[in-house]
Amino acid sequence: MSSVPLSFPTKPDTLDTLQLLDDEQEWAAFSRPDAQQTGCWESNVLIEGMHCAACALTIEDVLKGVPGVLKAEVSAGSHRAKVVWQSQAVAPSGWMQAVQQAGYRALPANDAFSRERRLVESRKALWRMMVAGLCMMQVMMYAYPAYIAKPGDLTVELEQLLRWASWVLTLPVILFSCGPFFSNAWRDVLHRRISMDLPVALGMLITFVVSTAGTFDPTGVFGAEVYFDSLTMFVFFLLAGRWLELRLRDKTAGALEALMNRLPDSVARLKADGEFERVPVRRLQCGDVIRVLPGEAFPADGILLQGNTSVDESLLTGESRPLTRSAGDEVISGSHNLAAVVRMRVDRVGEQTRFAQIVSLMESASTTKPPLARLADKIAKPFLAGVLVAAGLACAYWWQTDPERALMVAVSVLIVTCPCALSLATPAAMLSAAGALAKRGVLVRRLDAFESLAAVDTVMFDKTGTLTRDAMVLGQVTVRTGQSEQRVLAMASALAQHSLHPVSKALCAAAALAEISPLWRAEKVEEQTGQGVSGLVSLGDASVATKSLRLGSAEFCGLAAADSPILKVHLSDDHGWLASFEFQEDIRPDAAETVAALQHAGISVYLLSGDASDAALRVAEKVGISNVKGHCSPQEKLDFMRQSQVDGHRVAVVGDGLNDGPVLAGAHASFAFGQAVPLAQAQADFLVSGSRLTNVVDSLLLSRRTLAVVRQNLWWAAIYNAACVPLAIAGMLPAWLAGLGMASSSLLVVLNALRLSNDAQFERKT
- CB-based contact 38:86 (threshold 8 Å): no
Do the strands 567-573 and 547-552 form a parallel or antiparallel pair, or are they unpaired?
A: antiparallel
Amino acid at 179: G
Distance, in Å, from the CA atom of 430 to the CA atom of 420, rounded to the nearest integer, reads 16
Q: In what order do the strands lie in the sheet with 309-312?
A: 323-325, 309-312, 336-337
Amino acid at 59: I
Rounded distance between C-alpha atoms, residue 552 and residue 536, angstroms: 15
DSSP 521: E
- Give alpha helix (H) positions in 568-658: 591-600, 613-623, 634-646
How far apart (Å, rounded) are the C-alpha atoms in residues 228 and 736? 10
Torsion on CA atoms 341, 346, 349, 354, rounded to nearest 10: -70
User: DSSP 3-state helix, strand, coil percentages of the chain (rounded to 5)?
Assistant: 50, 20, 30
Measured distance CA(440)–CA(671) in Å, rounded: 14
Active site residue 462: yes
Sorted by sequence, the CB contacts under 8 Å of residue 215 that are 6+ apart come out as: 160, 163, 164, 166, 167, 226
What contacts 500, CB < 8 A, 6 or more positions away?
A: none
CA distance 87 to 27: 10
Nearest in space to 28 (alpha carbons), one of 362, 269, 282: 282
Find the Cα–Cα–Cα–Cα dihedral 563, 564, 567, 571, rounded to 10°: -60
Residue pair 463/616 in contact (Cβ under 8 Å)? The answer is yes
Other beta carbons less than 10 A from residue 24's beta carbon: 12
Cα–Cα distance for residue pair 98/106, rounded to 1 Å: 9
Q: Are 518 and 493 in contact (CB under 8 A)?
A: yes
The alpha carbons of the chain give a radius of gyration, in whole angstroms, of 34
Contact 700, 595 (CB under 8 A): no
Cβ neighbour number for residue 574 with a 10 Å cutoff: 9
Q: How far apart are CA 606 and CA 310, in angstroms?
A: 38
Going across the sheet that includes 330-331, the strands are 276-280, 266-270, 289-292, 342-348, 301-306, 330-331
With 0-12 / 13-18 / 19 or more C-beta atoms within 10 angstroms meaning exposed / middle / buried, residue 79 is: buried
Catalytic pick among 188, 377, 462, 656: 462
Distance CA 513, CA 507 (A): 10
Tell me if residue 140 falls in helix, strand or coil.
helix
241 CB-near residues (< 8 Å, 6+ apart): 742, 743, 744, 746, 747
Q: Which residues pair with 528 in a beta bridge?
A: 532
User: Annotated active-site positions, please?
Assistant: 462
